[in-house]
Structure 1
Amino acid sequence: MEVKINFNLNNKDMSLKVNPLRRLLDLLREDLKLTSPKEGCGQGECGACSVIINGNLINSCCVPVGNIEGAKVITIEGLMGTKEFDILKESFDEAGAVQCGFCTPGMIMASYALLTKNKNPNEDKIRTGISGNICRCTGYDKIIEAVKMAAKKGEDIW
């Protein structure tokens, strides 16, 4: 069964006929060819599929498409080219917070979501903000450093 779903994706209005029980992750990757959200665990444990829905960081592998009716969805592709993304990317690069890159989109999304709600988080708030995202290569100290750097560099835009 397919239904019409209307939502905003990366500042573009979308109207699609889809199975409302299909995972948002699959719609984004397979149908819309947005590859930043990745299948990691498929259970909402790793954060590789993180997107922002209505201002909240959400694991897209756990969201049925029917739940995004009328929602605003943002992926990394929607952040690219913004000042915020540039600051985060530069900070992650400078801090050495990127190694294999698998977790990076989810970490960037978590960092963005955190900084838009708290423009000067302390280390505990950063740890909480990225806590749903698993990094197996880089380690969290460099990621925390990157978020601190981004907060300082972007203090006038967050």
Structure 2
Amino acid sequence: MEPLITLVLVTGALWALGALGVRPLRPWPTALRGGLAAMFVLTGVAHFVGKRAELIAMVPPFLPAPALLVTVTGVLELAGAAGLLWSRTAPWAAAGLSVLLVAMFPANVHKALTVVPLGFDDQLVPRTALQLVFLAATLAVVGRHVHELRRHRATEPSGERGAMIPGATARPTG
């Protein structure tokens, strides 16, 4: 439940700061990226400190080297969190974290089906719902970027198709 609380509180705080006049935080995707970054720092650090043994035990037995997998996924979560903070890498980081959430889901299923007793938020249905919220948030960042690219393409003159990223300049073709 801590990751959800972190996501909601940090996103809400950043969004509120944007509403109060902090210009860089005004767009909702920026606040969401900050909330996701905080959440993935929290979960990424847990791969190394505090919950490492529990996370290793969650790895399904058909996967090799559980400790290595937990280390790799922790590093990927921390790298993804850092990538979310820079607008140029944020969509790529969000897409990678989306894939990571899907790839790690079998560990949640394995834990829900093999560990007894479970707290409410570790049971399969609530855990799945949480994963869907996190996935929706990462995909919202990707979707917003795609929307911005399409809008940018629709407003640029037809001869300047080289500028794919908002804020980038088109390269001369001649």
TM-score, length-scaled by structure 1:
0.26
Bigger radius of gyration among the two: 2
Structure having the higher helix fraction is 2
- More strand, by proportion: 1
Comparing both chains, which one has the higher relative contact order based on Cα–Cα distances under 8 Å and sequence gaps of 6 or more? 1
TM-score, normalised with respect to structure 2 = 0.24
